[in-house]
Structure 1
């Protein structure tokens, strides 16, 4: 297990493309409807931010790149080619086995665009499928239909992109346990190396939040939602997928390396409007709006905010994100980052969660128990502010 040590350059890059064909009803990400947006101006600004970033923190060997959004695949083939050339110019030193992921919406991935992506170095595509019922897709504001899913995956494979993942969601309005079972079955029939399956969270500043407050969002009850989670875990396990993180399942060796960077609290560059980055115990967030970002990037780093992370906050983060991983957290990696033992710092919280049956010991550390997986938020909450609240 590699552990980030300070002074070593980041090995992971996150890049944000904030454009979408439309805004989904549950989405609170920094995204903007594509129509009339200055896309090339944005990509040039991104190029400027990359240039300034690597001048300050030169990159080492890059092991993972993740392009998220928005919907990065709304870029036209020529825009995509410009963007990918820009990435390779500023981060030229790639590991032989680099994982270069791009998020995609079914229906925005024709053969020409996928060919440009592959040519530019993308070797993993994550499709936002969400459900296999057209009525559910319409109900959450998605513009693709189930046929688009099959066509997009076929197109990806046709250009030689085989490391594919799909996202599914549960706890959606009007979704039943049977509907989720059907979605999981159809997803597994695709025989992909990786699946992400998330529960719906009703976030502020979304249409769903407005409807929820008016009591007009027909969500499944808690019992059904628990049944959905239990069902998807058992179906994934039966099909040979390891649950390596609370919401993520993979065939052995096909876990998302980029996401593991976050869960192990390691450094990564964060580029683009509204992107977050974490380098050398400093976090930053970029300016969110497209035009303000473009303007700021022409004058310097387009920061909205940046701040040092105290050792106490970093320790809390290590515990919270590390316990999302099913392998759990080890004292050796805690000591490598902080020079102290996990037990010395968090004995009270660890033993409380052990006694509650939500954590179990593994090797020199801890992981969520089977019960803990179902009540993960209670466990993570135990470490929020454990050291930093007065």
Structure 2
């Protein structure tokens, strides 16, 4: 199986600090005030050094810095962090994609210059909505003025690969509010948009409110109408929907996320980060101080397990079908030495008969109906 030997070409690094905790967020993030940021950067260096000693870094194609909000780092902290990345992952392929998540209002010109000088060439802003009342409902601390200012600053510094995240299915959100957000988002003429439906996750304020019947969510019909509207509007505006929730100008797809969807290996660095290397998946210790202490002893791994061939084949289908290009027989054969249509004969036949999948000669992809019920499709590959 190819993952046993391949060296990762993608790097994920987690910065767990945030200005505040949003009401829907279950990510491994912690409010910045009082956090040992310098100690955390020291810990990242120890983990990077040990990781690349164990699994050498060669020809890195994508780096993605997520969180949390990585851009809460001060400019000098940002410079040091980015220097660490260049030190321990120096063998970078031509055309490296180096993405960093950002929150509007946390990227002044000095910080953006530090990011650009440190190698960042793609920024993904967590905008979520262009309705200020909705932003308050979500617990976001930025407003739409911050969004415009942050994007203007990024363009002024020379960033030309910009993405924003939006959400739908939000409390008190109507299709009209969603349309207005799309109007304002598309007027920006950015290279990339990620647009996700709200998921009610455990250990969030929204989860608590939901179970008290105090979260006024749109009904399923309205949420479906929003998604259909999003797909139509982005297509009309010239964006390719290349994954269930992602839309891009030609050539501006997120190459890092596409590596996940192709089920490829990647480094996972930082508190709570996930990695997939040489046929093993791991997750790091989550708490900031426990993570820092763990890096003094060795790799800060909470859990590590070998991925069986059957699990890897299931993963290939579930993440691959998220892409509108679907899964390709040839790629499955190259990775596993087996025929896709034989391994998954039963679910493939069933889903094609249900009109959820299309067989296109090269492989299989979601139909328009399958696109609306993706999770139901993916689950079929765990049942057989």
- On whether the aligned pair clears a TM of 0.5, the verdict is yes
Alignment-derived partner of residue 195 in structure 1: 193
Alignment-derived partner of residue 52 in structure 1: 50
Q: Which runs of 5+ in 2 are unaligned?
A: none
Paired residues for 1:104-183 under 5 Å = 104-183=102-181
Alignment-derived partner of residue 63 in structure 1: 61
CA contact 2:3–2:279 (8 Å) conserved in 1: no
1:281 shift after superposition: 1.1
**Cα RMSD over matched residues?**
0.9
Paired residues for 1:83-94 under 5 Å = 83-94=81-92
SS in structure 1 at match of 2:344:
helix
**Which of 30, 33, 45 does residue 32 from structure 1 map onto?**
30
Alignment-derived partner of residue 94 in structure 2: 96
CA contact 1:245–1:325 (8 Å) conserved in 2: yes
Measured in 2, the distance between the counterparts of 1:31 and 1:99 equals 24
Query: Which moves more between the two structures, 358-367 or 235-244?
Result: 358-367
SS in structure 1 at match of 2:305:
strand
Q: Deviations over 1:295-353 (max 9, x none)?
A: 00011000000000000000000000000000000011111111100111100000100
SS in structure 2 at match of 1:204:
coil
CA contact 1:16–1:67 (8 Å) conserved in 2: yes
CA contact 1:22–1:34 (8 Å) conserved in 2: yes
Measured in 2, the distance between the counterparts of 1:256 and 1:270 equals 17
SS in structure 2 at match of 1:122:
coil
Measured in 1, the distance between the counterparts of 2:210 and 2:3 equals 44
Q: How many residues align?
A: 384
CA contact 2:100–2:120 (8 Å) conserved in 1: yes
Measured in 1, the distance between the counterparts of 2:383 and 2:370 equals 20
Q: Deviations over 1:219-263 (max 9, x none)?
A: 000000000000000000000000000000001110000000000
Alignment-derived partner of residue 41 in structure 2: 43
Q: Which runs of 5+ in 1 are unaligned?
A: none
Measured in 2, the distance between the counterparts of 1:345 and 1:9 equals 26
Alignment-derived partner of residue 218 in structure 2: 220
1:381 shift after superposition: 1.1
Measured in 1, the distance between the counterparts of 2:246 and 2:4 equals 29
CA contact 2:291–2:300 (8 Å) conserved in 1: yes
Alignment-derived partner of residue 279 in structure 2: 281
1:362 shift after superposition: 1.7
Alignment-derived partner of residue 248 in structure 2: 250
1:6 shift after superposition: 4.0
CA contact 1:5–1:336 (8 Å) conserved in 2: no
Paired residues for 1:62-81 under 5 Å = 62-81=60-79
CA contact 1:4–1:267 (8 Å) conserved in 2: no
CA contact 1:316–1:385 (8 Å) conserved in 2: no
1:4 shift after superposition: 5.9
1:63 shift after superposition: 0.3
Q: Name the TM-score, length of structure 1 as normaliser.
A: 0.97
Q: Deviations over 1:43-66 (max 9, x none)?
A: 110010000000000011000000
Q: Deviations over 1:271-292 (max 9, x none)?
A: 0000000011100000000000
